Amino acid sequence: MDKLFIITNESIFNYNEEFFCDNIDLKSTPEGLNNNFEVNIIGRKSKQARSHKINIKKIKIFNNITSFLAGIHRSFTYKNSKYLIISISPFTFFACVLICIFKKKNIVYLRSDGYGEYKAILGFFGQFIYHVMFSLVSKISPLLSCREYILKGNEGEVVAPSQINSQWLSNHKEIDTNQIKLLYVGRIKKEKGIYSLLEIIKDNKLGLKLSIVGAEKNFSNQIVQSNVSVHEVETNEQNLIKFYDDHSIFVLPSYTEGHPMALLEALARLRPVIIFDEIKHVIGDKKGIFTCKRNKESFFLKVESILKNYKQIQEEMKKNNLPTNRDFINDLYNSIQNTK
């Protein structure tokens, strides 16, 4: 069986030789591919506890970029090995350059629009940094993306990431729309737009409440807002499904997104979704996603409109043809196998 080295910028926590991450994709994707490859993960070491246990035996994590690259270099002794580089960051950028210098088979998987993310974090200087990295990577490595536009005109395959399985698509629950309960599932980071959403719903007249699911363990940047409750990353699938079922509207406030899996989860549970104009490209042919401006007036008008037409919207949402995790893993496997 061929070895597949997954190179990631994600932080991974080691506890008694068991490894944990916060990004569910870093758990499910290697585990899914492990049926076809002997998967190895190379990532960054986290000093902070993480939520999802990664059920992969061979994981190496490193404190700094020097040891990170040295670990990748040691992997070159193996024959018939392939490399899946996830996203472009300074760590993975230099990893890509090193792998290409030694002429190893690799593919770079872009899960989101780095231009938008780096701009949200560092402004236009961040965009410039990402542009330099992306421009070189796109010339030396095959690309794989979750959206055509992320490729920026370069050749590359497109896949549809998903965590959806049969449990997500069955036993739907009714919700009392007299209570306006909003849900956000994702990381609590500036570029995810969560702080702009908190400002929008502060002192609202509709009496709505927001639940945030995705705080890291020992989350220190406490959010103190009377109509907001914060929960840690949910690792139990049934509990996560219950979060969706207990809320009437899902909100995805990100400034940039590629193929958000939490959005698919909300659609699978027949919960209407509100996004802001910056990421309207994620709608595609999916029903039940609504856009608004990033301000109080536009947001609350959209909430009221959804509640007035809730049942009709849900009936339309039942027509969605959502990708599943099995579909995604099969497509990803074929893309890696076809890499030259």
CA distance linking residue 275 with residue 164, whole number of Å: 20
Superfamily of domain 181-317: Glycogen Phosphorylase B; (3.40.50.2000)
CA distance linking residue 340 with residue 315, whole number of Å: 45
What is each CA distance from 63 to 44, 54, 73, 82, 116, in whole angstroms?
Answer: 6, 19, 16, 23, 27
Question: One digit per residue, pLDDT tens: the chain, 340 residues?
Answer: 889 999 999 999 999 999 999 888 999 999 999 999 999 999 999 999 998 999 999 999 999 999 999 999 999 998 889 999 999 999 999 999 999 999 999 999 998 889 988 988 888 899 999 999 999 999 999 999 998 989 999 999 999 999 999 999 999 999 988 889 999 999 888 889 999 999 999 987 788 999 999 887 766 667 888 899 999 889 899 999 999 999 999 999 999 888 889 999 999 999 999 999 999 989 989 999 999 999 999 999 999 999 999 999 999 999 999 999 999 999 999 999 887 6
Closest by CA to 6, choosing from 35, 29, 22, is 29
In 3-state terms, what secondary structure has residue 104? coil
Would 3-162+326-337 and 181-317 be classified into the same CATH topology?
yes
CB 44 within 8 A of CB 26: no
CA distance linking residue 43 with residue 8, whole number of Å: 5
CB 10 within 8 A of CB 21: yes
Secondary-structure class of domain 3-162+326-337 per CATH: alpha beta
CB 142 within 8 A of CB 156: yes
Domain assignments of the chain as residue spans, ordered by start = 3-162+326-337, 181-317
pTM (two decimals): 0.85
CA distance linking residue 223 with residue 216, whole number of Å: 13
